Structures are given as C-alpha cells and as structure tokens.
Amino acid sequence: MNKILKKERLNPTVVRMELEAPLIARKALAGQFVILRAEERGERIPLTVAGQDRSAGSVTIIFQVVGGATMALDAKREGEYIADLVGPLGNPTEVEGLKKVAVVGGGVGCAIALPVARRLGELGAAVTSVLGFRSASLVILEREFSDCSARCFLTTDDGSRGERGNVCMPLGRLLAAGERFDAVFAVGPLIMMKYVAETTRPYGIRTIASMNPIMIDGTGMCGCCRLTVDGKTRFACVDGPDFDAHLVDFDEAIRRSRIYEGFEQRARERGCRLLRKEERR
C-alpha cells in the first residue's frame, strides 16, 4: 500500500497527488509512467510520473476524474492509502542532445508534458511551451511551464484566457515565420496530437507523440495498448509511450479509444450514486 502524502485540486476535474513510493522515485525518468489501483478490487490505471522527490521518496501523479477508477482515486484523502503502485514503466523520453525544442500540451496532457519540459530545461535546451485548454477554468500548470520555458504560449478554445484557438495556431505561426526546432513533443488528446503532427510534417521536423491508449498489465502481454506505427503493430507500454507522430495511425487510435465510452459512463453513474449514499450517512 502507498500513502497519499499530499492532494491538491488543480481545476474542477483535475487532481494532483503526491504518493509515498521511494523505490519508484529513485528510478523514474521523464516520460515514464506507473500503474495503480485505488482499491484492492479496483481497475488498474496508467498515469505518468509528473514529478518525483528522490530525497522524500515520493512521486507525483496528476489525473482527470473521468470514470469509475479515477473517481475512486479522487475519493481518497491525504493520509489514506491506495492499494498498490507499480513502476516505473515504459521508456524514458529521449531528450539528450536537443538544443531547441517545442513542447505542446493539451488539457490534462500538460501533466505528461511538464516533466519533459523540465528535464529539457535542466539540460540547457531552449524550450518553447504551447499549452491548450477548452477554457480559463481548466488551465493547469501555467506557472510551472513558464518557470522551465524560454517562451510559453497559452490558448483556449473560447478565448477566455490567452489566445483564442488551439495549440496549432501559435506553433504554425512560429514555423511559418522560419522558426525551426530539433524536435516537437506533443502530449494531449489524440486529435490534438494528430493535428500537431500535420502542422510539423511539411517542415520535416521530428515530432514525438506520447501515446496513452487503453492499458491493463503494462508489460506488453495483454495487447490492449496496441497501436499501428509505420504500418506495424506496437505496444505503448513497452515500445513507448513515445512514438514518431508522423508514423502513428491516429485515426485507428481514436476509434479504439472510444470502445469503452459506454462502460465509463455507467461507471461514472455508479460512482455518483455511491458518493451520494456516503454523503447521506
């Protein structure tokens, strides 16, 4: 069992937790993830290591409350325990040797992008961060990105904060004006990463997408996290989670991501009923 050391709500649906996990904190690198269960009989969910404190023996996760498993995790309080935590899993993001990069994050995907931007900054790279959200009320981690970036652009779909529009707008302007990057890292909704890849493709800029498909065991045995990259089957948990965005079949990945939407809706409804029962007691 792993103790919840800190819990903070970043916006109405996104939560940051610091968990006691000294062995994972000692080894985790930017881009890797953990798999956890909030309860012993709960669903296994993969979450990126958003940060770690090796001296304190803790790791930070950031998650969006979207289904039954994340609702159960959100119900936990500081000082309580989650059932188990496994990691670090996946391959670290390759950041060595990069001098000028763009890190593009969308929504809760910014939690995955942040450790990459931080590590690049620590290595001396000039980081341009581009963050996108639906509205001002959903903005997270803006200060943290500003602290590790040479430039930080913020967009919202409705224009309530930053530039009105999506992340491809400032990125596209920079590229059209002659700006070039050693690499562009895209993390967020599949449709966002698809269009970031299409924005960089004409310029031949290496573009990396962090893929987070349905995942169960995290060791490549279950096959649930399979995706097609350059016409070949790959598994996000052991071959990724980072892949060449220009080679990923995003349309297939989007179709597969929608398979369990009905199950998640029913899980949310069950969770809401359970929470209401607890509140009445």
- What's residue 7's pLDDT? 95
- C-alpha closest to that of 244 among 230, 256, 255: 230
- What's residue 268's pLDDT? 57
Identify whether residues 63 and 146 lie together within a single domain.
no
At 79, phi and psi to the nearest 5? 95, -20
- What's residue 1's pLDDT? 87
Identify whether residues 146 and 47 lie together within a single domain.
no
| Cα distance between the two ends of the chain | 27
Report if residue 6 sits inside a domain. Answer: yes
Identify whether residues 74 and 176 lie together within a single domain.
no
Q: List the domain range (segments joined by +) for residue 76.
A: 2-89
Answer positive or negative: Cα dihedral of 91, 92, 97, 99. Answer: positive
- What's residue 274's pLDDT? 52
At 61, phi and psi to the nearest 5? -120, 150
Identify whether residues 83 and 177 lie together within a single domain.
no
- What's residue 217's pLDDT? 73
CATH number at residue 74: 2.40.30.10
- What's residue 260's pLDDT? 66
Per-residue pLDDT of the chain (281 residues; tens, 9 = 90+): 899 999 999 999 999 999 999 999 999 999 999 999 999 888 888 999 999 999 999 999 999 998 888 999 999 999 999 999 998 999 999 999 999 999 999 999 999 999 999 999 999 999 999 999 999 999 999 999 999 999 999 999 999 999 999 999 999 999 999 999 999 999 999 999 999 999 999 999 999 999 987 777 777 777 788 899 999 999 988 898 999 999 999 999 998 887 766 656 665 566 555 555 545 55
Total number of domains constituting the chain: 2
Identify whether residues 128 and 165 lie together within a single domain.
yes
Helix axes 250-257, 190-200, angle to 10 degrees: 170
Going by their DSSP bridges, the two strands 151-156 and 163-164 should be labelled as parallel
Task: Name the token pair of 126.
Answer: 């000039």
**Per-residue buried b or exposed e for 108-132, using 16+ beta carbons within 10 Å of the residue's own CB:** bbbbbbbbbbbbbbeeebbbbbbbb
- What's residue 74's pLDDT? 94
Q: What pTM value is reported for the model?
A: 0.86
Task: Name the token pair of 153.
Answer: 């652009």
Identify whether residues 179 and 123 lie together within a single domain.
yes
